[in-house]
Amino acid sequence: MNAPLPEGVAPVVNESGLAVQPLYTADDVESSGGWAMLGRPGEYPFTRGIHPLMYRRQPWTMRQYTGFGDAADTNARFRYLIANGQTGLNVAFDLPTQCGLDSDDPLAEGEVGRVGMAVDSLRDLEVAFDGIDLERITVSLTINGSAAILIAMYLAMAQRRGFDLRTLRGTAQNDILKEFIGRGTWIFPVGPSVRLVGDTIEYCAVHAPKYSPVSVCGYHIRESGANPAQEMAYAFCIACAYADEVLRRGLPIDEFAGRLSFNFNIFGNLFEQVAKFRAGRGLWAQIVRDRYAPRKPSSMWMRMIAGGGGGGLTLEQPELNIVRGAYYALVSALSGAQTMALCCYDEAYTIPSEHAQRISLRTMQLLVEEMGLADTVDPLGGSYYVETLTNQMRAAMARIVAETDAAGGIVALVASGAIQARVSAQAYRRQRDLDAGRLRKVGVNCYRSDDEAPNVEFHPYDEAGAQAQVDRLAALRRTRDGAAVDASLRDVRRAAAGGANVMPAIVAAVNAYATVGEITRALADALGRYREPVRFTE
């Protein structure tokens, strides 16, 4: 065991609040919980990975986050990335689309296509994915408040192109609870929002059983101020809330749990990040086993995308973000992620350039082709430090899950604003530590180079392109079957008001070329709109 630190040697405490010792031995592993949760890769509790051979059989999917302007602009970038070896797509939508607004809505002015692709109707998705083989390239839709509509559009687009929905793979983020905690692109109240997530899970289980309709996003909870242990624990509480919603409808756990996935963040201490993922896999497997008694081992898998965390990047000396991204990719590979997406070095300033995205893509490829990260499973497994930290992180996460459940559950705490207040207060304290230099950040509060101008190519906002999107929307409204659209929107409103699964009605509406904004308004007529509670203390 470790002796007290000598005088003058400063203690080290990681962001999750765990003290880091200068030396670790087998005794530390034993005192932290032992080796019982280690196991073998591909076997419960999956600490070492969810597949026996992991990357020896198949490297991680490389899925850069991209989307800007209109559907044609985004399609061109998709094709560029695929031509450069990318193996999956991760779609960014503009703020109007995320908030359920059409491009001609007055509230959308100045934001159409600015930070993601503008999507108003099924026609936009038809253009965005033109020429892309959806069986070879799986697609992740980073969308939440309007996720039910975009999932319906994606499935309709795929079916029209001749793809079999029974075998179609892909993912939607569709994690509305973390939107209330973090990003804020909510539309409907908390209860109805959780219901809509349940509708998508239930619908996909029947009609698109290989599609993953939810990627629970600890990533944005971490970006909002949560520490690494909270990031994982709150994500697990959220995943359980969605599972409970679907189980109440009578769908067995094995019919949908294996298609739940997670999106996690990486920035900060390398070993803490590796340990949190190894710990998280074991804890999630334990939670699902003990709460839901699944029959399939795959129902207990923590399937995840993990890569760079935007909160780790800096405006200052942005080229250093290339180095940070390489370490984030290393963490992701050492942690056993199924999918990797790296933030680009210029993202603190602008939509990533092709050059910046190629650097991030090449970084992931280097790990496979040159660095040996795909050669063996869980290469840090057995390290006294890593195994001790993994045990400690698992215990910390389990305590947070238990505390959240005891306080009424994640849904109630989000509805009251309690979780939001907690992570916001932590974000404030973290920023104070950065400002005071207590939390060291290279280029920000140490090793500064104030005379350096950033070498970043800015992506200009295309006002003409935004107007063209509005014009195309007007043309769509003139040429579509207005009576069919009106009838489909009445069906959406009726299903939402009556408590039925809204997905069949939304699918019919998007096939009639009803727009995102029109369907959102129909849902809001029945479900209402969210008003955020404001709390000033934790």
Helix (H, G, I), strand (E, B) or coil at 65: strand
3-state secondary structure 132-162: CCCCCCEEEEECCCCHHHHHHHHHHHHHHCC
User: 463 lies in a domain?
Assistant: no
The number of angstroms, rounded, from the C-alpha of 490 to the middle of its chain's C-alpha atoms is 32
Cα–Cα dist 128/91, whole Å: 10
The 8-class DSSP code of residue 212 comes to: E
Domains of the chain: total: 1
Residue 2 confidence class, pLDDT cut points 50, 70, 90:
low
Residue 373 belongs to domain spanning: 19-433
Span 202-218, average pLDDT? 97
Identify the pLDDT of residue 330.
97
Identify the pLDDT of residue 270.
97
Span 201-213, average pLDDT? 98
Identify the pLDDT of residue 533.
74
Q: Where are the alpha helices (DSSP H) in 71-189?
A: 71-83, 95-98, 122-128, 147-160, 176-181
User: 455 lies in a domain?
Assistant: no
Identify the pLDDT of residue 151.
98
Identify the pLDDT of residue 535.
63
Instruction: Identify whether 379 is preceded by a cis peptide bond (ω within 30 of 0).
Output: no
For residue range 250-278, list pLDDT tens digits in order: 999 999 999 999 999 999 999 999 999 99
Identify the pLDDT of residue 305.
96
For residue range 402-413, list pLDDT tens digits in order: 999 999 999 999
The position carrying tokens 């989000």 is: 414
The 8-class DSSP code of residue 21 comes to: P
Cα–Cα dist 100/157, whole Å: 19
3-state secondary structure 260-292: CEEEECCCCCHHHHHHHHHHHHHHHHHHHHHHH
Identify the pLDDT of residue 252.
97
User: 473 lies in a domain?
Assistant: no
User: 218 lies in a domain?
Assistant: yes
User: 188 lies in a domain?
Assistant: yes
Task: Provide the mean pLDDT of the chain.
Answer: 96
User: 425 lies in a domain?
Assistant: yes
Which region among 145-149, 355-359, 451-455 has the lowest average model confidence (pLDDT)? 451-455
User: 502 lies in a domain?
Assistant: no
Percent of the chain with pLDDT over 70: 99
For residue range 70-88, list pLDDT tens digits in order: 999 999 999 999 999 999 9
The 8-class DSSP code of residue 482 comes to: H
Sign for the pseudo-dihedral over CA of 144, 148, 154, 158: positive
Identify the pLDDT of residue 7.
79
The number of angstroms, rounded, from the C-alpha of 85 to the middle of its chain's C-alpha atoms is 22
For residue range 42-64, list pLDDT tens digits in order: 999 999 999 999 999 999 999 99
Residue 443 confidence class, pLDDT cut points 50, 70, 90:
very high
User: 111 lies in a domain?
Assistant: yes
For residue range 388-403, list pLDDT tens digits in order: 999 999 999 999 999 9
Q: Residue 538 above 70 pLDDT?
A: no
Identify the pLDDT of residue 3.
67
For residue range 84-133, list pLDDT tens digits in order: 999 999 999 999 999 999 999 999 999 999 999 999 999 999 999 999 99
Residue 10 confidence class, pLDDT cut points 50, 70, 90:
confident
Q: Residue 357 above 80 pLDDT?
A: yes
The CATH code of the domain that includes 247 is 3.20.20.240
